[in-house]
Structure 1
Amino acid sequence: MDTLQVILLALIQGFTEFLPISSSAHLILPAQLFGWEDQGLSFDVAVHIGSLLAVIIYFRKEIVAMFKAWIASIFKGQHSDDSKLAWWIILATIPAVVIGFMAKDWVESFLRGPGVIAITTVVFGLLLWLGDRMAKCELTEYQTGWKKALLIGFAQALALIPGTSRSGVTMTAALMLGLNKEAAARFSFLMSIPVILGAALLMGKDIVTEGHVIDWQAMGLGVLLSFISAYVCIHFFLKIISRMGMTPFVIYRLALGLFLCGFIFL
């Protein structure tokens, strides 16, 4: 990878990981459109680590509070809003872990092409629009409940398919289930922590066992740029989402999907 490719892909990962427009699709597309070689597993790990650090640092106070409350709920039987939220996030992670473990190889073999990305970009963009229109915006993340958390978790499992968008499909489900826009985003971002961490650990294991060549300079730059762009993205997205809604992202997804369809079939 040359430096320009590293910079572009790291920024793309950081900006798109937490927006409802699919980071996996945007990392696959440059290689498809510009004829670049695959960026490699080690670089994927690097940019995911950068995004993970961004969400952990941004929500550090909430994470510490949830962790302390979760420990208290286990050992002292003390239940609070923070402990319930921690349990719901754990519960919401289970479907993605189970389904991801079973379907990962099949998805990577058959569902990583631009045609699939074009279709999922449009379909899940329309679902995002529907979720935004249906949103009752009544509940905060602390009022989610275990049933809604589990349903959002099953929605998250769909993000194994490139073009779906993990944040997009979880926000869509959360909005349809009554969460307000900021709560849907916050719950989605907190859900991302165990999922991104698990994905990075699995990819790291593959790097070690398969003996991948590591470009440490590219990895370091990838971590730094994905961290900065992801942190900026989270901050401003939460500031504007209640006023702006999902319409701009729906329009972007539809335009991107139509462009891809034209690129593929014309």
Structure 2
Amino acid sequence: MDWFQTLALALIQGLTEFLPVSSSAHLILPSQVLGWADQGLAFDVAVHVGTLLAVVLYFRRDVISLTQSWLGSVVKRQHSDESRLAWLIILATIPAGVAGLLLDDFIEANLRSAAVIATTTVLFGLVLWWSDFKGSRSRALTTINWKDALVIGFSQALALIPGTSRSGITMTAALLIGFSRDAAARYSFLLSIPLIAAAGLLKGLELAETGTDAQWTMVGVGTVAAFLSAYACIHLFLSFLERIGFTPFVIYRLLLGAVLGLYLLM
């Protein structure tokens, strides 16, 4: 990659990881549409690290509190709302983790295409709009239970399909079962931490086994750019979500799907 591609892909990763528009789709499309070379495993690990650092730093108080409460529930059997939330984040992570281990190779070989992305971008964009329109948006995050966690967790497994959007589908599920926009977004962001960490770890182990001839300066720049853009994205998204809702993201998904459909027909 050249410097422009490095910055572009890092910014795409950072800006789309936490928005309901699918980061995987936006990272696949440059190679599908523009013919860019694959960014390589080292770069994948780098941008995962960047986005993980961003969400952990932004929610650092929550992460520290949830971790301490979870440890307290394990070691001292001291249970609280925060320890329960921590356990429900773990529970909701399991379906996507299992699905990833079982289906990743199949998805990599068969579903990483512009046609699939165009379809899922439009389909799940419409489902997001429907959930935002029909959901009661009355529940706080403190009301979450194990059934809610499983519904959101199984929906997260669908995000393995490119174009679905992990954040988009988890927020969609949370809205459908009555959570407020802010609660849906916050749970989605907290839920991303173990999954991004696991994905980054697996890619890191693969990188250690295979080695790389990556340009480490570009990898470092990619990490920093992904971190900064992801942190800014989380802050702005949470600041404006209650005012703007999900409609702008739905419109973007429909336009993106339409453009991809036209590209495929040409």
Where on the TM-score scale, by shorter chain, does this alignment land: which range?
A: over 0.9
Matches within 5 A, 1:237-248: 237-248=237-248
Equivalent pair of 1:84/1:142 in contact (CA under 8 Å)? no
Question: Structure 1, residues 130-161: CA drift from partner, whole Å, max 9, x if none?
Answer: 11111211112221111101110000000001
Which deviates more from structure 2 when the two are superposed, residues 56-65 or residues 204-213?
204-213
Distance in 2, matches of 1:139 and 1:76, equals: 30
Percent sequence identity is 56
* Cα distance, 1:213 vs structure 2: 2.1
Amino acid at match of 2:30: P
Q: CA RMSD in A?
A: 0.8
1:212 Cα shift? 2.6
Per the TM alignment, residue 128 of structure 1 is displaced from its structure 2 partner at its CA by 0.5
Aligned length: 266
Larger displacement relative to structure 2 (113-122 or 133-142) = 133-142
Alignment pair present for 1:120 and 2:154: no
Cα distance in 1 for residues equivalent to 2:204 and 2:210: 10
Residue 96 of structure 1 corresponds to 96
Range that drifts further, 177-186 or 70-79: 70-79
1:214 deviation in Å?
2.6
Contact 1:91/1:153 (8 A) holds in 2:
yes
Contact 1:156–1:169 (CA<8 Å) still a contact in 2?
yes
1:240-259 → structure 2 map (5 Å cutoff): 240-259=240-259
Unaligned runs of 5+ in 2: none
Letter in structure 2 aligned against 1:105: D
Q: CA-to-partner distance for each residue in 1:80-111, whole Å, 9 max, x for gaps?
A: 11101100100000001101100000000000
CA offsets, 1:200-229, max 9 Å, x none?
Answer: 011111111122323211110011000000
3-state SS of paired residue (1:185): helix
- 2:224 alignment counterpart: 224
In the alignment, is residue 162 of structure 1 matched against residue 179 of structure 2? no
Gapped regions of structure 1 (runs ≥ 5): none
What are the residue-to-residue correspondences of 1:166-177 with 2, within 5 Å? 166-177=166-177
Structure 2 residue identity aligned to 1:207: L
Counterpart check, 1:5 vs 2:5: yes
CA–CA separation in structure 1 for the residues paired with 2:211 and 2:153? 33
The residue aligned with 2:62 is 62
1:51 paired to 2:51: yes
Amino acid at match of 2:220: G
How far has the Cα of 1:74 moved from its partner? Answer: 1.3
Under a length normalisation based on structure 2, what TM-score does the superposition of the two structures give?
Answer: 0.99
Distance 2:174 2:201 in 1: 27
Please show how residues 134-173 of structure 1 align to structure 2 within 5 Å: 134-173=134-173
Correspondence for 2:18: 18
- Corresponding residue number in structure 2 for 1:193: 193
Cα distance in 2, alignment partners of residues 67 and 61 from structure 1: 10
Aligned residue number for residue 202 of structure 1: 202
Q: CA-to-partner distance for each residue in 1:45-70, whole Å, 9 max, x for gaps?
A: 11111000000000000010011111
Q: Distance in 2 between matches of 1:79 and 1:143?
A: 15
